[in-house]
Amino acid sequence: MKIIKNLLLPIILSSLFCQQANALDVLFPQSNPYKTWSHTTYIMGNVQKGAELLINDEPAKVWNNGAFCHILNLEDGEKEYKLVETYKDENDNTVTNEKIFKIKKMPGAKKITAKPVSPDVPKKIYKPQQPTFTQFEKPKFAYILTDGAPARSYPSTNGERISHLPQKTVVIVEGEYKNWYKIQTNSEPLWVYKNNVKVLYPLDNDLLVTIRRADIFQDEDFSYLQMTLDIPVPYKLTENKDDIELTVWGVYDIAELNKVLKKQKRQTWTIKNYENNVLTLKTTCEEGIWGYDATYDNYTLVLKKKKYPIIYPNNPIKGMTIAVDAGHGGREAGTVGPTRIPEKTVNLAISKQLQAELEKRGANVVMTRTTDKDVEIYSRPKIANDNNAVISISIHANSMVDGNPLERHGVSVFWYNDHAKNLADNIKKSMVEELKLRNDGTRYSSFVLTRPTMPISVLVEVGYMPNPDEYLKLTNPKFQRQAAKAIADGLEKYLKSAQKQIVIEESKVFIPTFIKR
Ligand SMILES: [Zn+2]
């Protein structure tokens, strides 16, 4: 018995102590002492509802839910911030809790502007001069180990993603720079991370492939171009305003392809360029770009181009397959708001409302999760693609490291591929207008959930969790419903704007029975 008592006592004491400690609860900064290179940061957390909070003897604002977010303009060096919470308990006794935070502004801190002039982030490509690399005596035969390995314009993770190479793609590496191999292309530089490559042996001759067979065909949803090669060689897809290009490196015989191209009734595919064994094909997309992708099926390179979907003028969402991704989940909480509600909960609530809103308008919605569970990041776009979604919307709520969350907050929508920008703009616009939130920009950014070229993919940051006003909204079911409606409205406007000039009367559209609508 004695042993048990001894064990229990610390547990009881610590649970009491924890309750006490919970009363003055600081969520940001996440470390103490805290170091920053910013001129501005903040202390965010919660106190008892109705409590008073002093920070270095000055009263700090406490929201009705107990949240606080106090902005600090920092001077060089370390400073102490003493937080004192005071409230009356049920017996009318005054309870005081104290915490001291040490925050150090590091020398050389750059000023972060709280209100950018234009919050939009345009596409910008990192194009530094190529580094001086070590050229191998002879090029080496190698192949890709990791499926979807990025091939970049520059040997750094900042280098532009030129392509994602499937596993077993054969690459000839001609040199190295730090942790990167340079792929032989006879054209633009292409680099792969060494861990993604298995190098086998030096080559005496060039390694070039013949196109053994080519096919152009289509089904209900896609147009296809297939080319069977001797071995899978590197390729890239490029998107322009009205067309898509496929470049294949190391091709020396295109006779079979030429035969097939000649047989086309409409010139869907044309050769844009063929020199130095680099082949570039082009396909026009008069009806807009609705998604495209390419991969190897053994030695056959398969390019899929999504066809224009049926868009009803009065109800553009009807029949559309839309993937909704509730960000994070399970062990991954995302960012945590001032009263400890995690982002994953907010994301799921808004995503479920969005599902209901889209289904109400006739969409076929694919959810990446409907409960609080772990979903691996790369399986999310795969769920969308496997279900043939036309659009993918990932729902998040924003965090902030340093800066001023009382000034910098609001809606931002992220895109990566050019054909997704218009969708991002439309969703952001209707959210800003309908929800009366600050416009935090349509932003170009490379995320797992914005990178797919199919479906059309955007990521919505509905609001900022550290901003107590926005946090109150984000955690409010009424606002969550309104946010879902605003996203659906933006999507609808996008589809209307993307609609073909020829308007199809709903009653006259023949829908084969095997298509689920
Ligand atoms: Zn997130």
Whichever domain contains 383, its CATH number is 3.40.630.40
Res. 134: pLDDT tops 50: yes
Instruction: Tell me how far the alpha carbon of residue 176 lies from the centroid of ligand 1, in angstroms.
Output: 36
Q: pLDDT tier at 18 (50, 70, 90 boundaries)?
A: very low
218 and 195 in a single domain? The answer is no
Instruction: Tell me how far the alpha carbon of residue 442 lies from the centroid of ligand 1, in angstroms.
Output: 16
pLDDT at 499: 80
Question: What's 133's DSSP letter?
Answer: -
| Domains held by the chain: number | 4
Instruction: Tell me how far the alpha carbon of residue 395 lies from the centroid of ligand 1, in angstroms.
Output: 8
Instruction: Tell me how far the alpha carbon of residue 202 lies from the centroid of ligand 1, in angstroms.
Output: 45
285 and 413 in a single domain? The answer is no
Instruction: Tell me how far the alpha carbon of residue 292 lies from the centroid of ligand 1, in angstroms.
Output: 26
Instruction: Tell me how far the alpha carbon of residue 397 lies from the centroid of ligand 1, in angstroms.
Output: 6
Ranking 121-130, 319-328, 464-473 by mean pLDDT, the lowest is 121-130
Dihedrals φ, ψ of 70, to 5°?
-105, 125
Whole-number Å distance between alpha carbons of 204 and 190: 21
Q: Strand pairing of 58-60 and 52-55?
A: antiparallel
**Token pair belonging to 359:** 């289904």
Rg (CA), the chain: 28
Res. 517: pLDDT tops 90: no
Dihedrals φ, ψ of 18, to 5°?
-65, -40
Instruction: Tell me how far the alpha carbon of residue 14 lies from the centroid of ligand 1, in angstroms.
Output: 32
Instruction: Tell me how far the alpha carbon of residue 88 lies from the centroid of ligand 1, in angstroms.
Output: 37
Whole-number Å distance between alpha carbons of 208 and 251: 6
Res. 15: pLDDT tops 80: no
Instruction: Tell me how far the alpha carbon of residue 377 lies from the centroid of ligand 1, in angstroms.
Output: 11
Instruction: Tell me how far the alpha carbon of residue 61 lies from the centroid of ligand 1, in angstroms.
Output: 27
288 and 189 in a single domain? The answer is no
Question: What's 248's DSSP letter?
Answer: E
- Residues near 123 by Cβ (< 8 Å), separated by ≥ 6? 418, 444
Question: What's 428's DSSP letter?
Answer: H
66 and 155 in a single domain? The answer is no
Residues forming beta bridges with residue 326, ordered by sequence position: 395
Whole-number Å distance between alpha carbons of 350 and 324: 10
315: in domain: no
Instruction: Tell me how far the alpha carbon of residue 281 lies from the centroid of ligand 1, in angstroms.
Output: 38
* Structural domain range at position 439: 321-497
16: in domain: no
Boundary (domain end) residue, out of 155, 183, 202: 202
Instruction: Tell me how far the alpha carbon of residue 414 lies from the centroid of ligand 1, in angstroms.
Output: 12
Instruction: Tell me how far the alpha carbon of residue 502 lies from the centroid of ligand 1, in angstroms.
Output: 40
pLDDT at 266: 86
Instruction: Tell me how far the alpha carbon of residue 398 lies from the centroid of ligand 1, in angstroms.
Output: 6
Instruction: Tell me how far the alpha carbon of residue 328 lies from the centroid of ligand 1, in angstroms.
Output: 6
Whole-number Å distance between alpha carbons of 288 and 290: 6
174 and 279 in a single domain? The answer is no
508: in domain: no
351 and 394 in a single domain? The answer is yes
Percent of the residues in the chain that have a pLDDT greater than 90, as a whole number = 84
Instruction: Tell me how far the alpha carbon of residue 342 lies from the centroid of ligand 1, in angstroms.
Output: 10
Res. 52: pLDDT tops 50: yes
Instruction: Tell me how far the alpha carbon of residue 493 lies from the centroid of ligand 1, in angstroms.
Output: 25
Instruction: Tell me how far the alpha carbon of residue 464 lies from the centroid of ligand 1, in angstroms.
Output: 10
Instruction: Tell me how far the alpha carbon of residue 460 lies from the centroid of ligand 1, in angstroms.
Output: 9
Cβ proximity of 457 and 309 under 8 Å: no
220 and 196 in a single domain? The answer is no
Instruction: Tell me how far the alpha carbon of residue 175 lies from the centroid of ligand 1, in angstroms.
Output: 39
125: in domain: no
DSSP SS3 for 377: coil
412 and 492 in a single domain? The answer is yes
Q: pLDDT tier at 4 (50, 70, 90 boundaries)?
A: very low
Q: Looking at residue 174, which CATH number applies to its domain?
A: 2.30.30.40
Res. 506: pLDDT tops 80: no
171 and 243 in a single domain? The answer is no
Q: Looking at residue 101, which CATH number applies to its domain?
A: 2.60.40.10
Whole-number Å distance between alpha carbons of 370 and 349: 9
Boundary (domain end) residue, out of 306, 335, 369: 306
Instruction: Tell me how far the alpha carbon of residue 474 lies from the centroid of ligand 1, in angstroms.
Output: 13
Q: What is the mean pLDDT of residues 325-336?
A: 98
Res. 461: pLDDT tops 90: yes
Instruction: Tell me how far the alpha carbon of residue 28 lies from the centroid of ligand 1, in angstroms.
Output: 16
Instruction: Tell me how far the alpha carbon of residue 29 lies from the centroid of ligand 1, in angstroms.
Output: 18
Res. 14: pLDDT tops 50: no
Boundary (domain end) residue, out of 146, 174, 202: 202
Instruction: Tell me how far the alpha carbon of residue 445 lies from the centroid of ligand 1, in angstroms.
Output: 14
- Closest alpha carbon to 66 in 57, 56, 54, 53: 53
Cβ proximity of 397 and 474 under 8 Å: yes
Residue 495 identity (one-letter amino acid): L
CA 446 to the chain's CA centroid? 6
360 and 404 in a single domain? The answer is yes
Instruction: Tell me how far the alpha carbon of residue 110 lies from the centroid of ligand 1, in angstroms.
Output: 26
> Which string of DSSP letters, residue by residue, matches 339-367?
TS-BHHHHHHHHHHHHHHHHHHTT-EEEE
Burial zone of 337 (CB within 10 Å; 0-12 exposed, 13-18 middle, 19+ buried): buried
pLDDT at 16: 43
Instruction: Tell me how far the alpha carbon of residue 396 lies from the centroid of ligand 1, in angstroms.
Output: 5
Instruction: Tell me how far the alpha carbon of residue 511 lies from the centroid of ligand 1, in angstroms.
Output: 39
pLDDT at 115: 56
Instruction: Tell me how far the alpha carbon of residue 400 lies from the centroid of ligand 1, in angstroms.
Output: 11
Q: What is the pLDDT of residues 397-433, one digit of tens each?
A: 999 999 999 999 999 999 999 999 999 999 999 999 9
Instruction: Tell me how far the alpha carbon of residue 475 lies from the centroid of ligand 1, in angstroms.
Output: 15
Instruction: Tell me how far the alpha carbon of residue 341 lies from the centroid of ligand 1, in angstroms.
Output: 13
DSSP SS3 for 125: coil
Q: pLDDT tier at 224 (50, 70, 90 boundaries)?
A: very high
Q: What is the chain's mean pLDDT, rounded?
A: 91
- Tell me the whole-structure pTM to 2 decimals: 0.90
Q: pLDDT tier at 127 (50, 70, 90 boundaries)?
A: confident
**Token pair belonging to 300:** 């056959």
Instruction: Tell me how far the alpha carbon of residue 128 lies from the centroid of ligand 1, in angstroms.
Output: 31
46: in domain: yes
8: in domain: no
- Residues near 9 by Cβ (< 8 Å), separated by ≥ 6? none
Whole-number Å distance between alpha carbons of 131 and 177: 8
Q: pLDDT tier at 504 (50, 70, 90 boundaries)?
A: very low
254 and 218 in a single domain? The answer is yes
Residue found under tokens 């040199």? 175
pLDDT at 22: 53
DSSP SS3 for 427: helix
Instruction: Tell me how far the alpha carbon of residue 232 lies from the centroid of ligand 1, in angstroms.
Output: 37
Q: What is the pLDDT of residues 181-218, one digit of tens each?
A: 999 999 999 999 999 999 999 999 888 999 999 999 99
46 and 169 in a single domain? The answer is no
Instruction: Tell me how far the alpha carbon of residue 374 lies from the centroid of ligand 1, in angstroms.
Output: 14
Res. 73: pLDDT tops 90: yes
460: in domain: yes
Ranking 174-178, 236-240, 266-270, 481-485 by mean pLDDT, the lowest is 266-270
Instruction: Tell me how far the alpha carbon of residue 389 lies from the centroid of ligand 1, in angstroms.
Output: 22
CA 43 to the chain's CA centroid? 28
Q: Looking at residue 225, which CATH number applies to its domain?
A: 2.60.40.3470
Whole-number Å distance between alpha carbons of 482 and 360: 14
CA–CA distances in Å: residue 396 to residues 329, 381, 422, 476: 11, 15, 19, 15
389: in domain: yes
Dihedrals φ, ψ of 77, to 5°?
95, -175
- Residues near 27 by Cβ (< 8 Å), separated by ≥ 6? 44, 45, 46, 336, 337, 338, 340
Res. 223: pLDDT tops 70: yes
